[in-house]
Amino acid sequence: MSAAITLVNKYILSQTTFKYIFALALANMLSASVMCRGLFILKPGLKQVNFSYEATPHLFQRFCVIAGLFAFSLTSANAALARLDVASVQMIKAIHPAVIYLLGMACGIERLSWSMCVCITIICGGVMLAVQGALMFQPDGVLLQILALVADGVRFLYLQATMQACTDALDPINVLDKVSPIASVFLWTAGSIVEFPSMRVGPSALHVIAPLVLGSSILAFGLNLSSYAYIKATSALTMSVSGIFRDVMLIGMSVAYFGSAVTANQCGGYFVAIAGTLAYLKCREDQLRQQRLKESTPTGGGKANSTSRHADQPVRLKS
């Protein structure tokens, strides 16, 4: 789905007269909100979680932060996609695991490790080599894509903490049901200022653009649901690393379909970045294995650990 939505959005923004990044993101969010409500109506077995600001102000504030980051990352990614070819965009995305690790370290979630730092240096060096042409001719596109990755990294970490802190009642469809309307408000407000007053879409072009935008919205809905489910079951870092082979496939498809020019230096730099990411994944697995061994070793502090776990019980929501 991620590959399909990238190609569809690139086609919309580069091959049609529809160049409106806020409108495209708003259509995706509004459609997600409508489809979530439709699922609750068509499948009564799905439990819809309702909450009020008075009862759970902290949860409402978290949803607002996630929605704001989501709106920013969507518009930045669409703007970058309008300026860069798909191959360059996917090569830049190779730094996503490094971004999440650095953000996690800044938030105290991750610990500083020299082996991790070496892997991150390799990844960043490979990405810089891969996108040196884009940096020379489209620096604004590269900057927008990096900003989108940073916003997405913060959103994933915040989303992971929110979903894992709450009960199972807060499932992916309920998260998307709460986040998409708030993100729509942010997008409508920003679009009304910078884009919507100058929008011009003729009736003759509407019958071509409308099905493409609808297809993009359906793909975005499925992608967001699967991403939220994946984050809740694993972690934001695991999800970002698992996208490596998808990115390779997308680069090949962009070369075949859009005729994107890929040089030997770009290929070499990208494969260096992939090697760094795989080394990063190996270091991460070793760290987790050592952590599990330490946790499984009796230290005589079982009672304290039990008390700590009891104090960190998940937040209970009323359904």
pLDDT at 315 over 50: no
Give 234's DSSP letter: S
Length of the chain, please?
A: 319
Closest residue by Cα to residue 179 from 156, 146, 213: 156
Contact 101, 120 (CB under 8 A): yes
Contact 62, 158 (CB under 8 A): yes
Q: What pLDDT was estimated at residue 68?
A: 94
Q: What is the mean pLDDT of residues 166-178?
A: 73
Q: From CA 251, how far away is CA 86, in angstroms rounded?
A: 7
Q: What pLDDT was estimated at residue 132?
A: 66
pLDDT at 134 over 60: no
Helix (H) or strand (E) holding 45: none
Percent of the chain with pLDDT over 70: 71
Q: What pLDDT was estimated at residue 67?
A: 93
More confident residue, 28 or 226: 28
Backbone angles phi, psi at 166, to 5 degrees: -100, 175
pLDDT at 249 over 70: no
Q: From CA 284, how far away is CA 240, in angstroms rounded?
A: 13
Query: What count of Cα atoms within 13 Å lies in the side-chain half-sphere of residue 119?
Result: 25
- For the segment 295-308, what is each residue's pLDDT rounded down to a tens digit? 777 655 444 444 44
Q: What pLDDT was estimated at residue 34?
A: 92
Q: What pLDDT was estimated at residue 255?
A: 63
Backbone angles phi, psi at 242, to 5 degrees: -70, -10
pTM, to two decimals: 0.72
Q: How far apart are the first and last CA of the chain?
A: 31
Q: What pLDDT was estimated at residue 184?
A: 95
Q: From CA 148, how far away is CA 145, in angstroms rounded?
A: 5
Helix or strand or coil: residue 241? Answer: helix
Q: From CA 139, how far away is CA 143, in angstroms rounded?
A: 6
Closest residue by Cα to residue 86 from 8, 177, 202: 8
Percent of the chain with pLDDT over 90: 16
